[in-house]
């Protein structure tokens, strides 16, 4: 996405070239006229008059007050939450020995490490066993066991609830067209709403603590599960259903025995997404009381302990990768059906092995306490070498960043920001309508306005413009980094795999940690904010460039080679155009990631929607938080609509 000013000019030029008066060009010309004659415009066209600002926040607060005080919704939500809490108590007792029913005390770490290692072995083999088992050994040896188990005790409860909820809603959506129609916009908004926005209502209705952490995690992780369930059920081939019907299955049997197993792959991808999203929430959910790694991380950062927080970041990444690979292996693992004639012990060989290992683990932990709990004094730490490395790196690049900071601030960021704030809102709205029309006709123009007019009406226009300016700058700079990196990585398979692993790492590494070095390099200003957003926004660009280029059919490339194209020609004239639709998904994701990150970057210091969101959270102002959240979501949804629409047209042109 570019600045509206630039786009206005392009659209205008395009219109002039074709010498037709397409509506898009006409609207763009209007927008341009508004910009050109700004000094003569009435104030009401430059900024929305105070009197026209709609008090959305007050309305939302009134609704919430009604729900809470008059309908007594809190009793219901708290009753539901107490159910979640009961489950959390059990996992808390088993995983880190919290004094709750069933009072069995913490399971020794060796037993858990052996169990997940075994799961890896059964599902894939030794390599996966080493990854999953090794992750838990790392956690124990680094002295992070209790925090990690506090985190997992919540995730272990939240994930099954998310999966069940997602399956239920997904089946309903698949069965009833009207429900899906209702569900889709809700899911779209839910997936682009910043986390802080729905954390505020959770504080009001549920309170703080592990249960709130679990509930926020469920809310955040359920949408992909719903989508994947609907997708999977829709893809089940009619032949399979017919064979089910022929064997006399009733409706329930047809669902549980035929449809769901046939949709297994998609459903397991959904479960995988649920796990990933849950881990992404670990740090943010600690703002409302989720215990464990996230809470510890924030506390360490508060005391500027980069090395120790980096260790926690590594743990979160390892957990994410281990659980991701484990659940992926599970989705690819075909259930094997051993000969029924074989003996019980033979059929359950792996189970017996596991029982043996668990008993061995318990005995070992009983004899040597180190294998039960690694005490604080026994834990290893890489904190000092990491601190030294970060310091050395900062010293090394500081001279360069000092100059870069001055250059970007003076010549790029301040002029751009002032320009964005200078634009009359009326011109911006018209320009967006013009872009919409150009890409998707009247319908897209109306959609663009439907997303942006409420932002103007909400009275947060200037803040929204600053958010947009940050995102545009960051995504533009991320394109400069990400696309060449992606092209370079796609040139051979090994490099591509390593690059994708790097992408996974950056995506799951808690962003709060690299905010600190970024501030140390650039100071508290827009350069630091943009830099932090770039790190995050580059990831999807690299990923989808690699995947897009690799997805180009080899026959097409061969055909081009045979007709004598040079490798440069193949890249720019054959592979890039074919990879473009995939790449556009990457760009879309990049904007989404940037929107998430720009909210987090409020912790550096911004003057945008994110800063106000932070204030809304600290004053538990539900209405304000949701209005700001919707503003951010609408920016994202508009970009999503435009890019996807453009990409669909493009795909149709290439007849892919």
Partner 1 sequence: MKYTALLSGSAAALVFAAPLAWAADASDPITIPTHNWSSQIVMSHIVGRMFEELGNNVEYVSSDSQTVYESIRLGDVALEVEVWEGAFGAAFRAAVEKGGIHDAATQQAVTREDWWYPLWTKEACPGLPDWKALNDCAAKFATPETGDKGRFLGGPVDWLKHDAEKVEALGMNFTVVNAGSAAALWAELAAAEKDKKPIVLFNWTPNFAEAVWPGEFVEFPAWQDGCDKDPAVGPMPDKVYDCGNPANGYLKIAAWDGMKEKWPTAYGVLTKVTFTNAQIAEMAKLVDVDGMEPEDAAGTWMEANEAVWKPWLQ
Binding site for partner 1 (CB under 8 A): 96-99, 105-106, 203-204, 207-210, 286-291, 295, 298-299, 301-304, 376, 394-395, 398, 405-406, 409-410, 414, 515-517, 519-521, 523-526, 601-606, 611, 614-615, 617-620
CB of 618 to partner 1, least distance (A): 3
- Crossing angle, helix 461-489 and helix 526-550, to 10 degrees? 40
CB of 291 to partner 1, least distance (A): 6
| Cβ count within 10 A of residue 17 | 9
Distance CA 507, CA 496 (A): 16
Q: What is the CA radius of gyration of the chain?
A: 27
Of 655, 375, 394, 343, give the one whose Cα is nearest residue 522: 394
Q: Which is nearer to partner 1, 279 or 301 (CB)?
A: 301
Q: Which is nearer to partner 1, 9 or 398 (CB)?
A: 398
Q: Looking up tokens 């042109």, which residue turns up?
A: 653
Q: Which is nearer to partner 1, 203 or 542 (CB)?
A: 203
Tokens of 216: 């926020």
To the nearest 5 percent, what fractions of the chain are helix, strand and coil? 85, 0, 15
Of 33, 47, 40, give the one whose Cα is nearest residue 424: 47
> Residue 304 in 3-state DSSP?
coil
Q: Which is nearer to partner 1, 425 or 460 (CB)?
A: 460
Q: Which is nearer to partner 1, 246 or 303 (CB)?
A: 303
Q: Which is nearer to partner 1, 46 or 412 (CB)?
A: 412
CB of 299 to partner 1, least distance (A): 5
CB of 413 to partner 1, least distance (A): 9
Sequence-ordered list of residues with C-beta below 8 angstroms from that of 209, at least 6 positions apart, any chain:
85, 289
Tell me the CA distances in angstroms from 389 to 310, 383, 384, 512, 586, one per residue in order. 12, 10, 9, 18, 32
Q: Looking up tokens 């900024």, which residue turns up?
A: 47
Tokens of 399: 């001279």
Tokens of 240: 């399979």
Sequence-ordered list of residues with C-beta below 8 angstroms from that of 334, at least 6 positions apart, any chain:
none
Of 164, 41, 630, give the one whose Cα is nearest residue 622: 630
CB of 163 to partner 1, least distance (A): 26
CB of 620 to partner 1, least distance (A): 5
CB of 143 to partner 1, least distance (A): 9
557 burial level (CB within 10 Å; 0-12, 13-18, 19+): middle
Sequence-ordered list of residues with C-beta below 8 angstroms from that of 221, at least 6 positions apart, any chain:
158, 159, 162, 273, 274, 275, 277, 278, 281
Q: Which is nearer to partner 1, 361 or 517 (CB)?
A: 517
Q: Which is nearer to partner 1, 99 or 492 (CB)?
A: 99
CB of 301 to partner 1, least distance (A): 5
Distance CA 55, CA 188 (A): 24
CB of 601 to partner 1, least distance (A): 7
Q: Which is nearer to partner 1, 242 or 402 (CB)?
A: 402
Q: Which is nearer to partner 1, 11 or 301 (CB)?
A: 301
CB of 127 to partner 1, least distance (A): 35
Whether 542 and 488 have beta carbons less than 8 Å apart is answered as: no
Phi, psi (deg, nearest 5) at residue 415? -60, -40
Tokens of 81: 């939450």
CB of 192 to partner 1, least distance (A): 22
Q: Which is nearer to partner 1, 300 or 445 (CB)?
A: 300
| Cβ count within 10 A of residue 221 | 28
272 burial level (CB within 10 Å; 0-12, 13-18, 19+): buried
Q: Which is nearer to partner 1, 98 or 325 (CB)?
A: 98
CB of 603 to partner 1, least distance (A): 4
CB of 44 to partner 1, least distance (A): 29
Report the number of secondary-structure helices (H) and strands (E) in the chain.
31, 0
Tell me the CA distances in angstroms from 454 to 3, 182, 307, 625, 636, one per residue in order. 20, 21, 44, 15, 14
Q: Which is nearer to partner 1, 399 or 553 (CB)?
A: 399
Distance CA 159, CA 275 (A): 7
């Amino acid at each position: 996405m570019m600045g509206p000013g630039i786009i206005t000019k392009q659209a205008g030029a395009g219109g002039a070239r074709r010498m037709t008066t397409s509506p898009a060009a006409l609207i763009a010309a209007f927008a341009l006229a508004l910009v050109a004659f700004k000094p003569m415009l009435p104030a009401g066209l430059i900024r929305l008059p105070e009197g026209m600002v709609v008090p959305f926040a007050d309305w939302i607060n009134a609704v919430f007050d009604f729900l809470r005080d008059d309908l007594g919704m809190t009793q219901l939500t708290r009753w539901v939450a107490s159910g979640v809490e009961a489950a959390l108590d059990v996992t808390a007792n088993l995983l880190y020995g919290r004094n709750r029913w069933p009072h069995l005390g913490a399971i020794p770490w060796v037993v858990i490490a052996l169990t997940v290692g075994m799961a890896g072995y059964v599902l894939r083999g030794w390599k996966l066993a080493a990854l999953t088992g090794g992750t838990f050994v790392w956690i124990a040896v680094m002295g992070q066991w209790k925090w990690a188990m506090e985190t997992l005790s919540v995730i272990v409860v939240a994930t099954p609830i998310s999966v069940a909820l997602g399956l239920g809603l997904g089946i309903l959506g698949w069965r009833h067209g009207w429900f899906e129609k209702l569900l889709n916009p809700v899911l779209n908004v839910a997936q682009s709403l910043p986390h802080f926005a729905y954390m505020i209502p959770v504080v009001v209705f549920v309170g703080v603590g592990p249960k709130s952490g679990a509930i926020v995690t469920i809310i955040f992780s359920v949408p992909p599960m719903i989508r994947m369930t609907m997708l999977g059920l829709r893809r089940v081939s009619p032949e399979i259903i017919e064979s089910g019907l022929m064997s006399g299955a009733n409706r329930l049997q047809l669902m549980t025995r035929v449809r769901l197993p046939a949709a297994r792959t998609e459903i397991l991808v959904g479960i995988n997404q649920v796990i990933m999203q849950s881990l992404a929430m670990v740090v943010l959910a600690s703002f409302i009381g989720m215990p464990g790694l996230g809470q510890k991380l924030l506390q360490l950062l508060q005391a500027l302990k980069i090395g120790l927080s980096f260790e926690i970041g590594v743990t979160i990444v390892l957990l994410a990768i281990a659980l991701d690979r484990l659940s992926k292996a599970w989705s690819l693992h075909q259930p094997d059906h051993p000969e029924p004639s074989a003996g019980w012990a033979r059929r359950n060989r792996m189970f017996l092995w596991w029982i043996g290992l668990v008993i061995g683990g318990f005995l070992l932990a009983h004899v040597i306490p180190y294998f039960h709990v690694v005490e604080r004094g026994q834990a290893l730490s890489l904190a000092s070498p990491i601190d030294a490395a970060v310091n050395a790196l900062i010293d090394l690049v500081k001279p360069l960043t000092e100059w870069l900071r001055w250059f970007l601030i003076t010549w790029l960021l301040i002029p751009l920001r002032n320009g964005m704030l200078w634009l009359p809102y009326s011109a911006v709205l018209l320009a967006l309508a013009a872009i919409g029309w150009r890409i998707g006709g009247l319908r897209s123009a109306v959609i663009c306005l439907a997303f942006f007019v409420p932002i103007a009406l909400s009275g947060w226009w200037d803040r929204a413009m600053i958010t947009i300016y940050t995102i545009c700058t960051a995504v533009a700079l991320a394109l400069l980094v990400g696309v060449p990196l992606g092209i370079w990585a796609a040139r051979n398979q090994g490099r591509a795999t390593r690059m994708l692993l790097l992408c996974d790492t950056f995506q799951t590494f808690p962003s709060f940690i690299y905010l600190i070095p970024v501030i140390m390099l650039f100071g508290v200003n827009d350069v630091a904010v943009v830099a932090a957003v770039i790190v995050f926004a580059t990831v999807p660009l690299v990923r989808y460039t690699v995947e897009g280029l690799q997805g180009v059919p080899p026959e097409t490339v061969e055909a081009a080679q045979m007709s004598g194209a040079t490798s440069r020609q193949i890249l720019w004239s054959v592979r890039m155009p074919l990879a473009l639709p995939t790449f556009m998904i990457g760009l879309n994701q990049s904007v989404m990631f940037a929107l998430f990150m720009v909210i987090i970057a409020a912790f550096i210091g911004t003057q945008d929607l994110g800063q106000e969101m932070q204030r809304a959270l600290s004053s538990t102002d539900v209405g304000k938080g949701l209005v700001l959240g919707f503003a951010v979501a609408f920016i994202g949804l508009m970009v999503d609509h435009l890019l996807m629409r453009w990409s669909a047209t493009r795909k149709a042109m290439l007849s892919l």
